[in-house]
Structure 1
């Protein structure tokens, strides 16, 4: 078995994957045909290539524009169910055992669905996908991260939707979209409400904005995880040298092991990862993920948008091994970090971690040392 096949067989935990960023091109074409929606291409291979090329612009704004097409075909119960079901099946086929799928219900009501109807459609699709995986002898657990769009004014309403469905598939809350100019302090009451309810929060931060964005996410938003977070290096003087000095925000994030939901391929596409002079990093070996791992940050590896970035968890991991000299031990450790940062209860995290260790031992054919859970 070669490295690529070995990595595909390893268990994976996915904490940062957008539902509307992972559609199969064939599905987009078929759903678009049902409503007469016009696409840039109607051949699956050509459409997939179009998304990848459009997302490779080096601009987060341009990257986000590609979602207009995927969101357009996710405005019906049928469309949402199918996309959610296929998301589960695709992740399971790639070795995922636990997934948190994030999406913004407010973007899927143009066809007349209510927020609750949209949520229910996605949950039904997830349930169908989990059942399909089980029927083939597999096992995967999937939760919804209910997301509010940063530029809109519906944070309160979306937070209420998440809380109303916390025992029906919603595992956490997020804000996404244009980060720069739309900080968490726009609606501080939302974070108080979620914290008072004991509901987990992850916030996109440190992707298109800097330390102040991360600071607001972890202090005002009380986020347990940071979506991307790669610009935390701006608060680490001498990052990449033998004598790095962490600032207050970086120390807080590391001391409290607030997980960084790093998405290497996406970060390189959107210019999220910067060097000390603020220049975009273009090659994976330059990406700060390895340095952050070496500094004992709670690094996790994720896909962000599988369609736009033409990626998967196996692809992300294989690139780290082949281009950044990561080992299987490194992959195991970030997977365990993701398991420990999942929005499930303590005992469930422990069980997930034990499953990961057992599957690593089975795949690699040698004893994998257990790290403390």
Structure 2
């Protein structure tokens, strides 16, 4: 991979097509929207009433070095997303923000069970979000921005509703829901607690990813793949624990790491978020450098744009600055992601050949 980065600025990065597979709806709100929804719906728990201060609070509160503490910030975003109009607004704005950043395909995930505190049904939550995504796509198109959205429904691994949410995902898979996930704290809640959900999904030919190898180690990844049948790994950065680098720079892959690489199991890596939760000490020390060099199926993602104060363009910029990645590398990450999407093959191929490659053509080496 080349280390050249000709004319690579944040502005030029926004112009190239990007693909996003790991982004949480309730982790990407605009701070102003949080404030306005809190006022409109009587939510009084926010730590600040100023837009800039609130945005700063979310970022600083997420810089805890702990996944459990990081997840506590979602109490506020979920707290203002308990009505249909709020869900429609948040979903539409998410699409607008992603499209403005040059994202052409995004799979955005959320847990429907977190938005029923005021009486919404699970079905009403899904339909409101889908309506918001459709509205966001229309608004983006009016601004000359193409984006296609896919939805992942999450079950919270510490609860006992995974099968119910899996059934919901299958019920709405012809309405924009492309897959399923489990999220929440990894420690103490292994993916095998939800085997009935994964068996249901497999028998219904449905796609799913699993948060694994973020706050917990190789056992989480092994269970997600070998017991549950995960097609992708949400984060998956702890796979580096099964890779040994010798004093002379030689690298040896353990059995699990070799299996993940050989099977081309996609890693949904979220660099800034991983640093915040303690999964990596810094961007410079992030395992993505080694994993990309070893040609794992690495994809780059935002996770939670509000909490990390990031975008796909800013994540690319940080990686390019740290590891010397050039346009060829960014195209490689993007095509990796598109190949790994839960979209049907013809549509993935169409986006690669007719959107992504032409979009990078002016930048990449011949």
Q: For this structure pair, what is the TM-score category when the shorter chain's length is used for normalisation?
A: over 0.9
What corresponds to 1:335 in structure 2? 334
Q: Could you tell me the TM-score, scaled by structure 1's length?
A: 0.94
- In the alignment, is the contact (CA less than 8 A) between 1:92 and 1:133 conserved in 2? yes
- In the alignment, is the contact (CA less than 8 A) between 1:240 and 1:291 conserved in 2? no
Question: Pairwise mapping of residues 255-266 of structure 1 onto structure 2 (< 5 A)?
Answer: 255-266=262-273
CA distance in 2 between partners of 1:62 and 1:265 (Å): 16
CA offsets per residue over residues 305-343 of structure 1, 9 Å max, x none? 000001000110001111221111111101000000000
Question: What SS class does the counterpart of residue 284 from structure 1 fall into?
Answer: coil
CA distance in 2 between partners of 1:187 and 1:265 (Å): 29
Runs of 4+ in 1 over 3 A off after TM superposition: none
Question: What SS class does the counterpart of residue 175 from structure 2 fall into?
Answer: coil
What corresponds to 1:149 in structure 2? 156
CA offsets per residue over residues 42-93 of structure 1, 9 Å max, x none? 1110000000000011111111000000000000000000000000000000
- CA-based RMSD: 1.3
Question: What SS class does the counterpart of residue 217 from structure 1 fall into?
Answer: helix
Question: What SS class does the counterpart of residue 108 from structure 2 fall into?
Answer: strand
Shift of 1:188: 1.3
CA distance in 2 between partners of 1:240 and 1:302 (Å): 31
Shift of 1:222: 1.1
Report which stretch shifted further, 19-28 or 213-222: 213-222
CA distance in 2 between partners of 1:2 and 1:263 (Å): 21
- In the alignment, is the contact (CA less than 8 A) between 1:202 and 1:227 conserved in 2? yes
What corresponds to 2:3 in structure 1? none
Question: What SS class does the counterpart of residue 124 from structure 2 fall into?
Answer: helix
CA distance in 1 between partners of 2:238 and 2:59 (Å): 24
- The question of 1:140 aligning with 2:139 is answered no
- The question of 1:57 aligning with 2:64 is answered yes
When residues 352 and 241 of structure 1 are mapped into structure 2, their CA distance, relative to the original with a 3 A threshold, is farther
**1:94 aligned to which of 101, 106, 125:** 101
Question: What SS class does the counterpart of residue 265 from structure 1 fall into?
Answer: helix
Q: Which runs of 5+ in 1 are unaligned?
A: 274-280
CA distance in 2 between partners of 1:258 and 1:249 (Å): 11
What corresponds to 1:165 in structure 2? 172
CA offsets per residue over residues 217-275 of structure 1, 9 Å max, x none? 111221111000000011112279632211121111111111000000000110112xx
- The question of 1:46 aligning with 2:53 is answered yes
Report which stretch shifted further, 325-334 or 117-126: 325-334
Question: What SS class does the counterpart of residue 343 from structure 1 fall into?
Answer: coil
Greater RCO (Cα-Cα under 8 Å, separation 6 or more) = 2
What corresponds to 1:361 in structure 2? 361
What corresponds to 1:303 in structure 2? 302
CA distance in 2 between partners of 1:82 and 1:116 (Å): 17
Shift of 1:109: 0.3
**1:103 aligned to which of 105, 110, 116:** 110
When residues 226 and 35 of structure 1 are mapped into structure 2, their CA distance, relative to the original with a 3 A threshold, is same
CA offsets per residue over residues 271-310 of structure 1, 9 Å max, x none? 112xxxxxxx2x2121110110011100000000000001
CA distance in 1 between partners of 2:228 and 2:358 (Å): 35
**1:126 aligned to which of 133, 145, 155:** 133
Q: Could you tell me the TM-score, scaled by structure 2's length?
A: 0.95
